[in-house]
Amino acid sequence: MSSTMLVVGPKLGVALIVLTLVAAAVVTLGKLGHGRQVIVAAVRAVIQLGAVSLLIAAIVASLWATAAFVALMCVVAAGTSGRRVTGGTRGWWAGAPIVVGSLTVVAGLLLVGLVPLRGIAIIPVAGILIGGAMTATSLAGRRALDELTTRRGEVEAGLALGLPPRDAVLLVCRSAAGSALVPALDQTRTVGLVTLPGAFVGVLLGGASPLAAGVTQLVVLVGLLAVEAVAVVLTVELVARGRLQARVPRRAG
């Protein structure tokens, strides 16, 4: 085993337990209301990553199995984002920004040869991009709907002036939803100075050179910007058209 890899053993288990309990204790003492959820999330992460690690080891040799696993990731991401945005009602529309944004970029990287047509390469790249699309969709959708609730009067004013419902909604919620891009922008701006993101660290731990790790991370970061930009734009459009339960006031008569 390479000396750069984390050693699986009792020390790792103790570290994970201590970190989880510290996080839960801080959240509880700070009265943030998510103490139990921190523990549940950590336990789920252990179970899910263990199962996924075994599953990936079994499917990476087959492109069909890899495609099925990527599809499963999209389904889970869509369900998660849909619940965050709409509370579950008509939430599957959240899958559109996630699928279009992430899989378009994955397909492009495969076509130009930057990502090898092998399961062991496709799954981690697709996972990162799908995760980014999910986060952007959740943030953009929630912020757009919150803005519509807060500024309902402005939407009604736009309708009174003769704007179509879609345009009235976009006028109010577009800039708020656009703030969902801030985390990706900040991460890209500060990469190497403040943060060393997962792809960079993972490639280094795998034994590659720092240059190869940097190039890999650069492709991932720029790809994430493209994915999240597409996801945010499509999410705002879905909100404006009422597909994600935007409460658009209707004119009487």
User: 107 and 131, same structural domain?
Assistant: yes
Verify that 181 and 66 share a domain, yes or no.
Answer: yes
Tell me: do 80 and 51 sit in the same domain: no
* Residue 111 and residue 2 in one domain: no
> What does the alpha-carbon distance between residue 173 and residue 143 come to, in Å, rounded to a whole number?
8
- On whether residue 155 sits in a domain, the answer given is yes
**Residue 251 in domain:** no
Tally of residues, the chain: 253
pLDDT digits (tens, 9 = 90+) for 162-211: 777 788 778 778 888 888 888 888 888 888 777 666 777 777 666 667 78
Spatial neighbors of 36 by CB under 8 A, at least 6 apart, are 24
Whether residue 108 sits in one domain with residue 228:
yes
Q: pTM for the complete prediction?
A: 0.79
- Return d(Cα 121, Cα 215) in angstroms, integer: 15
| Final residue of a structural domain among 11, 27, 59 | 59
Domain interval for residue 46: 1-59
* Rounded average pLDDT over 26-35: 83
The answer on 138 and 44 residing in a single domain is: no
Report pLDDT for 248: 40
Tens-place pLDDT, residues 92-109: 888 899 999 999 999 999
| Total tally of structural domains belonging to the chain | 2
Q: 165 and 97, same structural domain? A: yes
Q: Residue 3 pLDDT > 60, yes or no? A: no
Return mean pLDDT, the chain. Answer: 83
Domain assignment present for residue 71? The answer is: yes
pLDDT at 6: 63
Do 33 and 134 fall into the same domain? no
How far apart are alpha carbons 18 and 232 in whole angstroms? 37
pLDDT of residue 32: 81
User: Are residue 152 and residue 210 in the same domain, yes or no?
Assistant: yes
Please report the pLDDT score of residue 83 as a whole number: 84
Phi/psi at 195 (5° precision) = -125, 150
Note whether 13 and 78 are same-domain residues.
no
